[in-house]
């Protein structure tokens, strides 16, 4: 393996893999360094005991057009959640669906106790106003998501019983202080696309992106210690690379900026059960539960998430001040109370870096480069798989245009 590539990419998350794919497309000599033993960064899965445990509850959206263009969709075999959500309120579930895509649920949506007539009209109005929405074209004054929803005129009932718990589960922060521009982006994507998962887990997305990339161009368990100069990189094992260009992806930007990217955290608990409730193809959200934010019956969407002839359930907890043992016990008791049947605890993830923290005016920041050092990652575009891919595409287009 040589030590003087044209491009040295640090980090094999989604943006790093995208950079590698574009290097190959542009016929540039490159090397991709990854400090762990797997690719994908925050997107991934663990395969154990006949189950697929995604590293936190994650979904792909079919309206991620740039990402789709890089994927082999036939191989991914995407499996779809039903559009909308099942809301647990006062010991009863209510469906909020998109009646224009799921006509079977039009009665439930139109007569849901969560929605007023005004709310229904405003949801349709917002959906059509955000068609083809792009954050970079939005010149309106930014505000937090909660303020945006209140100013738009949605009822407190809908905000508290749907928007707060649903988008808390997307942003992974419970007060909806996330920039309204990111809310508008996410809302537009859910309106035009479908939430789904690869049949064999979210790890298949980075694995799929990596197809056709030569294994000799990836080096695992290779952590960068320091950027000595703009053309010299030293690893923790003492090895030195001297590339023409350096791309720092994701958190590796700290090597130059010395500033941490801010994230939202989440705890994800997995259970198995013999019980498969009706409407389990929806994401279930819980506006009044102290700990449970949302639940997904993953095997109702893809049977391959379990080889054990049972059902695999993912539970997301955004805030918890009790011990892990008490949290597991509490969640298990609530699952039995809500759904009935038996639930057995399987696995627990405490994810400190789950989603980007994107407050008001977050998108005023500009992308950054330092001569031969370039930066890539969703934090430079928006916090999503699509944002990671877009960032990788943009930085390689820039490098190729100016390559010497």
**What confidence tens digit (pLDDT) does each residue in 247-269 have?**
999 999 999 999 999 999 999 99
- The two three-digit tokens of residue 28, written as one number: 């540039």
Please state, in angstroms and rounded to a whole number, the distance separating the CA atoms of residues 61 and 192.
9
pTM of the model as a whole? 0.94
Q: Reply yes or no on domain 43-64+195-201+263-356 having CATH 3.90.660.20.
A: yes
What proportion of the chain, given as a percentage, has pLDDT over 70?
94
Please state, in angstroms and rounded to a whole number, the distance separating the CA atoms of residues 395 and 375.
7
Q: Beta strand 373-376 with 245-249: parallel, antiparallel or unpaired?
A: parallel
Please state, in angstroms and rounded to a whole number, the distance separating the CA atoms of residues 328 and 324.
6
DSSP string, 163-231: IHHHHHHHHS-TT--SBHHHHHHHHHHHHHS-EEEETT-TTHHHHHHTTTS-GGGEESS--EEEEEETT
pLDDT, tens digit (0-9, with 9 covering 90-100), for 27-39: 999 999 999 999 9
pLDDT at 365: 77
C-alpha neighbours within 13 Å on the C-beta side of residue 180: 17
pLDDT at 103: 45
Q: Is the dihedral of CA 65, 67, 70, 74 positive or negative?
A: negative
CA angle at 145 for the pair 14 and 82, rounded to the nearest 5°: 60
pLDDT at 149: 98
Please state, in angstroms and rounded to a whole number, the distance separating the CA atoms of residues 106 and 102.
7
Q: Tokens 């040295």 map to which residue?
A: 8
pLDDT at 214: 85
Ranges of beta strands (E only) in 250-372 are 263-273, 283-285, 292-297, 311-317, 343-356, 369-370
Mean pLDDT for all residues in the chain: 93
- The two three-digit tokens of residue 377, written as one number: 């990652």
| Domain 7-39+210-260+360-402 and domain 43-64+195-201+263-356 have a common topology | no
Long-range residue pairs from 238-243, CB within 8 A, at least 24 positions apart, any chain: 239/3, 240/3, 241/3, 241/4, 241/5, 241/8, 241/31, 242/3, 242/4, 243/4, 243/5, 243/6, 243/7, 243/8, 243/31
Q: For the chain, list residues with pLDDT below 70.
A: 1-2, 98-113, 366-369, 404
If one counts every other C-beta atom within 10 angstroms of the C-beta of residue 14, the result is 31
Displacement of CA 38 from its chain's centroid (Å)? 18
Domain ranges of the chain: 7-39+210-260+360-402, 43-64+195-201+263-356, 82-193
Number of H helices, E strands in the chain: 14, 21
pLDDT, tens digit (0-9, with 9 covering 90-100), for 254-311: 999 999 999 999 999 999 999 999 999 999 999 999 999 999 999 999 999 999 999 9
pLDDT at 368: 64
pLDDT at 113: 66
Q: Reply yes or no on domain 7-39+210-260+360-402 having CATH 3.30.70.380.
A: no
Contact 294, 165 (CB under 8 A): yes
pLDDT at 53: 98
Residue 37: strand, helix, or coil:
coil
- Label residue 377 exposed, middle or buried (CB < 10 Å: 0-12, 13-18, 19+): buried
């Amino acid at each position: 393996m040589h030590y003087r590539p044209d491009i040295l990419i640090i980090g094999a998350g989604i943006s790093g893999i995208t950079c590698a794919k574009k290097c190959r497309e542009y016929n540039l000599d490159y090397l991709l360094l990854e400090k762990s033993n797997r690719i994908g960064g925050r997107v991934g899965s663990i395969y154990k005991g006949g189950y697929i445990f995604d590293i936190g509850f994650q979904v792909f959206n079919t309206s991620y057009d740039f990402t789709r263009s890089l994927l082999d969709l036939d191989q991914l075999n995407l499996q779809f959640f039903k559009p909308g959500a099942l809301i647990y309120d006062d010991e009863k579930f209510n469906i909020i669906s998109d009646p224009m895509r799921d006509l079977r649920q039009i009665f439930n949506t139109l007569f849901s106790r969560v929605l007023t007539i005004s709310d229904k009209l405003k949801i349709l109005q917002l959906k059509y106003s955000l068609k083809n929405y792009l954050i970079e074209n939005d010149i309106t004054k930014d505000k937090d998501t909660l303020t945006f929803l209140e100013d738009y005129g949605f009822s407190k009932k809908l905000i508290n019983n749907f928007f707060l718990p649903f988008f808390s589960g997307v942003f992974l922060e419970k007060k909806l202080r996330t920039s309204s521009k990111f809310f508008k982006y996410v809302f537009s994507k859910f309106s035009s696309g479908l939430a789904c998962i690869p049949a064999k887990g979210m790890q298949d997305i980075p694995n799929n992106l990596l197809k056709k990339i030569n294994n000799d161009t990836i080096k695992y368990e290779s952590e960068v210690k320091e950027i000595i100069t703009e053309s010299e990189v030293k690893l923790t094992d003492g090895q030195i690379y001297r590339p023409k260009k350096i791309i720092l992806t994701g958190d590796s930007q700290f090597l130059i900026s010395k500033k941490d990217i801010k994230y939202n955290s989440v705890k994800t608990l997995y259970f198995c059960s013999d019980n498969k409730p009706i409407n389990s193809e929806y994401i279930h959200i819980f506006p009044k539960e102290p700990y449970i934010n949302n639940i997904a019956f993953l095997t109702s969407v893809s049977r391959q998430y379990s080889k054990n002839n049972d059902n695999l359930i993912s539970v997301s907890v955004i805030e918890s001040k009790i011990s892990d043992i008490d949290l597991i016990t509490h969640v298990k008791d609530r699952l039995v109370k809500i759904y009935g049947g038996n639930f057995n605890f399987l696995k627990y993830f405490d994810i400190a870096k789950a989603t980007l923290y994107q407050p008001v005016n977050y998108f005023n920041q500009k992308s950054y480069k330092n001569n031969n050092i370039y930066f890539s990652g969703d934090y430079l575009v928006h916090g999503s798989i699509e944002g990671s891919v877009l960032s990788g595409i943009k930085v390689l287009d820039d490098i190729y245009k100016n390559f010497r």
